[in-house]
């Protein structure tokens, strides 16, 4: 009877030991990060530095985690402990963009985690884009990649800056206006246009104002524009040509710069008489004018032009005066001769 009792006691002990060694691990729940839980000795894979390491899968990941605990050889119980891996979260800002960021995941405590934003520029449209600016959160830096020590759960955010494109159009002869390019949203761009662009001595461009997105804006040579949207700015210039009005005699009016396509009014004044009885008479214009025979006329300024007033001398008065003198002299001589012939006849009659 005593031997039977001992045998039964040994059998119960063996069954209990088998239950603790094999059945218990199969019913233990594995928790997520930060939760304390206990684990039976059964299923532990290997002995390492006086502790058993047991592979299990965490609640939120498929990566195997190894947890160590002291295993007293003569007792079948386990201990409470904390997980030793931390999550790295890699985000992007603003949230509506989807750059290719890498490095998110779970890392063992104390290890270094590498992360990166693989896109420096995210093109939204031809004139709108996002440009990588910096990292925020648990890491600060301006490089596309970084490294962080995983001593706790970490979150890093790749911050992108929105930019708009400023396009500047101008005549081909104007090359000194700077400012075309990308600007951060909300920044201001300052543009300065030259007032005059002289191509040749008789041809030039004159600044005639700005247009912004097709709408006339300012006549000032300097323009400040807020880059809150993409903009197209046109520096407007008008073509001008030089008209030269000359005359060998007298004075002229009309020399100067004129807008292309305009009508220039010109005139020439009659010069004084060079001598008695001689007058200067307008003989027309040498050059392309609308009314060549008129002293006052107009010129179509479709290119640089030069016109000259021409004159001729008129001696009509001189000739008339000479003729009159001759006539007077002739009449006087005739009268004198006639009187002399009549004088002897009167004397004889007495």
**Choice among 66-75, 110-119, 258-267, 306-315 with the minimum mean pLDDT:** 66-75
Per the confidence metrics, is the pTM higher than 0.85?
no
Say yes or no to pLDDT of 73 above 60. no
Q: Give the highest mean pLDDT range of 35-39, 73-77, 97-101, 174-178.
A: 174-178
Nearest to 119 by CA among 147, 87, 92, 140: 92
Nearest to 199 by CA among 174, 176, 177: 174
Say yes or no to pLDDT of 121 above 90. yes
51 burial via Cβ count (<10 Å: 0-12, 13-18, 19+): middle
- Model confidence pLDDT, tens digit, residues 186-228: 999 999 999 999 888 899 999 999 999 999 989 999 999 999 9
Q: pLDDT-derived band of residue 28, with 50, 70 and 90 as boundaries?
A: very low
Q: Which residues contact 333 (CB under 8 A, 6 or more apart)?
A: none
Q: What is the pLDDT of residue 64?
A: 38
More confident residue, 292 or 338: 292
Mean of all residue pLDDT scores within the chain = 77
Nearest to 243 by CA among 203, 282, 207, 211: 203
DSSP, res 271: P
**Choice among 38-52, 149-163, 274-288 with the minimum mean pLDDT:** 38-52
Q: Give the highest mean pLDDT range of 83-87, 123-127, 172-176.
A: 123-127
* Token pair belonging to 118: 């693989």
Residues 212, 244: contact at Cβ < 8 Å? no
């Amino acid at each position: 009877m005593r031997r039977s009792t001992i045998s039964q006691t040994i059998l119960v002990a063996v069954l209990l030991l088998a239950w603790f060694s094999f059945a218990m691990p199969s019913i233990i729940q594995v928790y997520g990060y930060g939760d304390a839980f206990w684990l039976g000795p059964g299923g532990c894979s290997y002995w390492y530095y006086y502790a058993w390491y047991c592979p299990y899968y965490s609640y939120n990941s498929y990566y195997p985690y190894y947890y160590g605990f002291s295993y007293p050889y003569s007792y079948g119980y386990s201990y409470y402990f904390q997980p030793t891996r931390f999550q790295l979260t890699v985000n992007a800002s603003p949230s509506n963009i989807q750059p290719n960021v890498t490095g998110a995941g779970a890392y063992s405590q104390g290890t270094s985690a590498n992360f990166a934003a693989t896109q420096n520029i995210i093109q939204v449209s031809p004139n709108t884009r996002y440009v990588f600016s910096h990292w925020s959160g648990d890491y600060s830096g301006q490089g596309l990649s970084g490294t962080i020590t995983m001593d706790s759960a970490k979150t890093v955010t790749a911050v992108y800056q929105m930019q708009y494109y400023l396009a500047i159009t101008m005549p081909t002869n104007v090359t000194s206006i700077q400012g075309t390019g990308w600007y951060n949203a909300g920044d201001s761009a300052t543009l300065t246009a030259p007032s005059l662009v002289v191509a040749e001595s008789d041809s030039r461009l004159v600044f005639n104002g700005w247009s912004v997105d097709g709408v006339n804006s300012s006549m000032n040579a300097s323009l400040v524009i807020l880059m809150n949207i993409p903009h197209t700015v046109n520096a407007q210039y008008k073509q001008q040509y030089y008209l030269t009005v000359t005359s060998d005699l007298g004075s002229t009016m009309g020399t100067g710069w004129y807008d292309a396509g305009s009508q220039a009014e010109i005139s020439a004044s009659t010069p004084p008489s060079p001598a008695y009885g001689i007058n200067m008479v307008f003989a027309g214009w040498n050059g392309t004018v609308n009314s060549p025979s008129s002293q006052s006329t107009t010129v179509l300024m479709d290119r640089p032009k030069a016109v000259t007033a021409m004159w001729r001398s008129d001696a009509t008065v001189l000739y008339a005066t000479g003729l009159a003198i001759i006539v007077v002299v002739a009449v006087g001589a005739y009268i004198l001769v006639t009187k002399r012939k009549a004088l002897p006849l009167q004397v004889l009659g007495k």
